[in-house]
Amino acid sequence: MSSRRSLLVRRRGISWLRNSVLLFIVVFVWLQLNFLSLRNSSDTGQEINDSYAAILSMVPSLLHKFLTPRPFNRSLSNLTIGNLFSKSSLNISEMKYFINRYNKEQTVINENIFGPLQNDSIVIVVQVHDRINYLRHLIVSLAQVTDIAQVLLIFSHDFYDEEINGLVQSIDFCKVIQIFYPFSIQTHPNEFPGEDPKDCPRNMKKELAVARKCKNAMYPDHYGHYREAKFTQTKHHWWWKANRVFNELEIMKNYTGLVVLLEEDHYVAEDFLYVLKKMEQASKDSCRYCNMLSLGNYLKTYNYYSDSRKVEVTPWISSKHNMGMVFNRSTWVEIVGCAEFFCKYDDYNWDWSLQQVSQNCLKHKLHTMVVRAPRVFHIGECGVHHNKSNCLSTAIISKVQQVLKSAKKYLYPSYLTLSYTTVLKKAKLRKGNGGWGDKRDHILCLAMALKYV
Ligand SMILES: *[C@@H]1O[C@H](CO)[C@@H](O)[C@H](O)[C@H]1NC(C)=O
Ligand SMILES: *[C@@H]1O[C@H](CO)[C@@H](O)[C@H](O)[C@H]1NC(C)=O
Ligand SMILES: *[C@@H]1O[C@H](CO)[C@@H](O)[C@H](O)[C@H]1NC(C)=O
Ligand SMILES: *[C@@H]1O[C@H](CO)[C@@H](O)[C@H](O)[C@H]1NC(C)=O
Ligand SMILES: *[C@@H]1O[C@H](CO)[C@@H](O)[C@H](O)[C@H]1NC(C)=O
Ligand SMILES: *[C@@H]1O[C@H](CO)[C@@H](O)[C@H](O)[C@H]1NC(C)=O
Ligand SMILES: *[C@@H]1O[C@H](CO)[C@@H](O)[C@H](O)[C@H]1NC(C)=O
Ligand SMILES: *[C@@H]1O[C@H](CO)[C@@H](O)[C@H](O)[C@H]1NC(C)=O
């Protein structure tokens, strides 16, 4: 009897164990299914279909026009001089002419349709180089954002291209304005800020450079290298754009609302403005010292099911919180007050330079509220300095589409939950990554801001 009972008990024990193991596996698998990741498709064993047709099939047909290359239509820009109309490409002085006109006229496309900019509108600034295929997808993603109609979209270009202009000018879902960085390499091919033939080669030793009397012989960076024009442009452009947007654009004169910074190879979620407004409110209510909001992150996996509403308050770190950054004029005024720290720091990365500003100059160091489940994604597989051949992959675009599709029912959280990180390993800010030792870069950078300090 007793042995029977013990057997029964053991049986029951076993089946209890088996059931809990089963339950555990089910829960585990189910949780796993909610984890999404961009980089490793092999994890899930799923092949991603990133054919053009597959990507197109995920885009509402109304928006296919943004993905379809079309012969550009210069009459849209309404900037024509003489017989340029029929020419297929512009020479440099013509480009400079157009760039000046765009910058002077500050034409706001669709203003008559969407009305004036209000303080509770949102301004989105997109820094654009030449990767039009990514830009097409960014525009498609923006077109699907809830409340996009109230936004002012600013495109800041450092590469003049009629096809890109045509694409931007075909945007019909909100107000749009284009600004052009006037010191680009494209329009200064043989002179600073481009590459002057009299500049010292990157790897020349200083003694030799001095003997040769090349132009910037006295100003290698602290690793002993001379400037490379193409690596300086992004920081210059970033700084110029921010100054331009806050201080020179007429339409921005009275604007005190939020400014979102994006890049041509970003992709946004449809609830990104909704979440942004919630974050703005949360920072007013619960984080008075937050002077930055971040809509992207670099986590490897996402779980919208559990994290859709989670945000974290943390000191701003350049390498973690530089994607989908958002701040307002008062934060910008403090940053630009530290122009020297930004412009003289020997680092060609704008985000590391901003870190320098935060750490060594700002009265209120940068603190950000960052989403746990990203609303801004990075779809550019290769940087600005790319080799065309390896930049054609569309796998990530397809992946982001899939991630957002499966996250769909968890978007638009009705409230946010905050967590706070205060203790950080003492951020070791070393002497910078170099590439920014040339006095001419410091002077140009300061000149962009000096008017306002
Ligand atoms: C990829 O998707 C497209 C459109 O949905 C389909 O026509 C094509 O057959 C798919 N290719 C593969 C390899 O699954
Ligand atoms: C070019 O723009 C004009 C005026 O907006 C329009 O009538 C014409 O159809 C456009 N042409 C093309 C090829 O898009
Ligand atoms: C082009 O500019 C002229 C005057 O400069 C203006 O009357 C006209 O409406 C503009 N056309 C477009 C399509 O913007
Ligand atoms: C550029 O083209 C214009 C004509 O549109 C011409 O007058 C000018 O000389 C050209 N400039 C250069 C540098 O080729
Ligand atoms: C800014 O405000 C001033 C004073 O109220 C007004 O005159 C001006 O038109 C406004 N500018 C813009 C672009 O709204
Ligand atoms: C925004 O708010 C500021 C300060 O309250 C005000 O001076 C400005 O006129 C407002 N601008 C707009 C466009 O409403
Ligand atoms: C701008 O942001 C700061 C936080 O950085 C906040 O204290 C301030 O109220 C904001 N200004 C406006 C006009 O919303
Ligand atoms: C680009 O490609 C060329 C030749 O294919 C190669 O020599 C060069 O190192 C590549 N550059 C980069 C940044 O990968």
Q: Is 147 labelled a binding residue?
A: no
Q: How far is CA 134 from CA 31, 60, 307, 394, in A?
A: 32, 17, 27, 9
- Residue whose CA is closest, atom 6 of ligand 6? 254
Q: Please state which of the ranges 5-9, 197-201, 348-352 shows the lowest mean pLDDT.
A: 5-9
d(CA 373, CA 400): 13
Which pLDDT tens digit goes with each residue over 46-98?
Answer: 567 778 888 899 999 999 999 988 765 554 454 544 444 444 578 899 899 99
**pLDDT for res 42:** 43
- Residue whose CA is closest, atom 12 of ligand 2? 73
For residue 192, report the distance from its CA to the centre of ligand 8, in Å.
Answer: 24
Q: Per-residue b/e over 73-102, b at no fewer than 16 CB within 10 Å?
A: ebeebeeeeeeeeeeeeeeeeebbebbeeb
- Residue whose CA is closest, atom 11 of ligand 6? 254
**pLDDT for res 73:** 55
The answer, yes or no, to whether residue 219 has pLDDT greater than 90, is yes
Which pLDDT tens digit goes with each residue over 345-369?
Answer: 999 999 999 999 999 999 999 999 9
The answer, yes or no, to whether residue 4 has pLDDT greater than 70, is no
Pocket test for ligand 1, best of 41, 49, 57 (most atoms within 8 A of CB): 49
**pLDDT for res 400:** 92
Task: Say if CB 200 and CB 212 are below 8 A apart.
Answer: yes
- Residue whose CA is closest, atom 5 of ligand 5? 254
Task: Please name which ligand lies nearest the alpha carbon of 78.
Answer: 3
- Residue whose CA is closest, atom 1 of ligand 2? 73
**pLDDT for res 90:** 82
pLDDT-derived band at 411 (thresholds 50, 70, 90) equals very high
Task: Say if CB 124 and CB 142 are below 8 A apart.
Answer: yes
The answer, yes or no, to whether residue 310 has pLDDT greater than 80, is yes
**pLDDT for res 49:** 74
pLDDT-derived band at 177 (thresholds 50, 70, 90) equals very high
Tokens of 384: 């600005």
Task: Please name which ligand lies nearest the alpha carbon of 363.
Answer: 7
**pLDDT for res 14:** 60
Q: What is the pTM of this model?
A: 0.85
The answer, yes or no, to whether residue 19 has pLDDT greater than 80, is no
Q: Which residue has the higher pLDDT, 191 or 50?
A: 191
Q: Contacts from 15-19 at CB under 8 Å and sequence distance 24+?
A: none
Ligand 7, CB within 6 Å, residue ranges:
256, 291, 328, 330-331
The answer, yes or no, to whether residue 453 has pLDDT greater than 80, is no
**pLDDT for res 392:** 58
Pocket test for ligand 2, best of 73, 79, 85 (most atoms within 8 A of CB): 73
- Residue whose CA is closest, atom 5 of ligand 7? 291
Q: How far is CA 189 from CA 146, 319, 379, in A?
A: 42, 31, 29
The answer, yes or no, to whether residue 305 has pLDDT greater than 60, is yes
For range 440-447, the mean pLDDT: 96
The answer, yes or no, to whether residue 388 has pLDDT greater than 70, is no
**pLDDT for res 75:** 44
The CATH homologous superfamily of the domain defined by 46-452:
Spore Coat Polysaccharide Biosynthesis Protein SpsA; Chain A (3.90.550.10)
Give the DSSP letter string of 348-397: S-HHHHHHHHHHHT-SS--EEEEESS-SEEE--SS-SS--GGGG---HHH
Ligand 4: does its nearest atom lie under 6 Å from the Cβ of 86?
no
The answer, yes or no, to whether residue 331 has pLDDT greater than 60, is yes
pLDDT-derived band at 30 (thresholds 50, 70, 90) equals low
**pLDDT for res 431:** 81
Q: Which residue has the higher pLDDT, 429 or 309?
A: 309
Q: Which residue has the higher pLDDT, 203 or 162?
A: 203
Ligand 5, CB within 6 Å, residue ranges:
250-251, 253-254
The answer, yes or no, to whether residue 287 has pLDDT greater than 80, is yes
Q: Which residue has the higher pLDDT, 120 or 52?
A: 120
**pLDDT for res 44:** 46
Mean pLDDT (the chain, rounded): 87
The answer, yes or no, to whether residue 41 has pLDDT greater than 50, is no
pLDDT-derived band at 315 (thresholds 50, 70, 90) equals very high
Which sign does the torsion angle of CA 52, 58, 62, 63 carry? negative
Q: For a pLDDT cut of 70, what percent of the chain falls above it?
A: 82
